[in-house]
Structure 1
Amino acid sequence: MPSRRRRNLTGIDRELKDLPQALRWREWMRRIEAVLFASATPVSNDALRRVVGQGASLDLLIADIQADLRDRPYEVVEVAAGWMFRTRPAFGAAIRVAADVKAQHIDLSDFEVAVLAAIALHQPITRDGLREIFGREIGRDLIGRLHGRDLIATGPRSPRRGAPYTFVTTEVFLTTFGLTSLRDLPDIEQLEDAGIAPTPRSV
């Protein structure tokens, strides 16, 4: 059994019973903010619960953080399987002008976005399925680029011999497009209005 000294070095006081309720709540909020600020990927509810008291409402804590940030240029949003900090869209132009964000930018062509939309809407889908949607073959190089950016992954495959591979979207896809889950995908009419509907077009 680990010693008391080791537990104190490796653990944190989640309950904070020595603090008044208001200060305890504020400390829990700050812990959540610190975790989200430090993480490059969405942080799950289960992970965030490790830094707050057992009886604390995570939903209320996050709601209070969001209220605190209402007038700030960034916000806490639910994305993919967790929570993360995100700059508000209104400040996108200023960031692109003055900040080095090349490593965070995923440059996609209109056709690549359309293929991603088709995969997201019809997953798991094969290359033959994509060909039926677009009326043309979807090149392995395009699929490879989407795989390389971790926007898609290999999906379930029929157990029969020689069955084709399928494709599905990933959590990186959800994070990149600011979606909580695939239920947040726009419908086909909205995609058409945005000019990225999965319909035949040239690369």
Structure 2
Amino acid sequence: MTNINTVLDQLASEGAAPQTGSTLRFAAPLLAVLALCAVGVALVLDGAFASMARDGMGPIAVKWSFSVALLTLCGIALLVLGKPGRPSKAAMVAISVPFVPILALLALELSIAGPLFYGETWRECLAAMLVMSPIAFTGAILGARTLAPTNLRRAGLVAGLFGGAVAMTAYAPFCPERGMGYLAVFYLLPILTMAGVGWALGPRLLRW
């Protein structure tokens, strides 16, 4: 029996391939939600980068290195997934790379100090992630819909990861907390939850 994904890829490449200028139309909503979240959190919260006086650049560098790398790789993966016929396994593997050093640092922290999930501002952090992640996820879905993805669950998962990464990127300058345990619980878990939501809703939101 012919694989349905192969048929869809063939049909898309023949008649439903993205038109000229689709990359710009794809990128516009992704950049728009990134700007919206950054400006929105700046209008609501005070004290951006205030923790640098106490902790230096280390904590914000770790957070941004992870979140910016993840949102960039997710944007590339969505673009690849939106072009039928192109292999996407490498792009999917690439989005897992930013998690590797974070998990390694978490394991190191646990081995030295045990589980430390301290942080007085965890409510604000969780609220920021829960509010901004769906907004950025919506932008990623709108961008993906300008292309022609055929693996809708995979594209939805990547859109969810992008949404969480944008939220983390926007909120990180205002977060005074440090420690990999805190990052794992109040950043990674919401990001992975958003990825699960995207995986579940991808076929409904991205179907042609």
| Bigger fraction of residues in strand | 1
Q: TM-score, normalised by structure 2?
A: 0.23
Q: TM-score, normalised by structure 1?
A: 0.24
Of structures 1 and 2, the larger Rg is shown by 1
Q: Which has the higher contact order (CA 8 A, sep 6+)?
A: 2
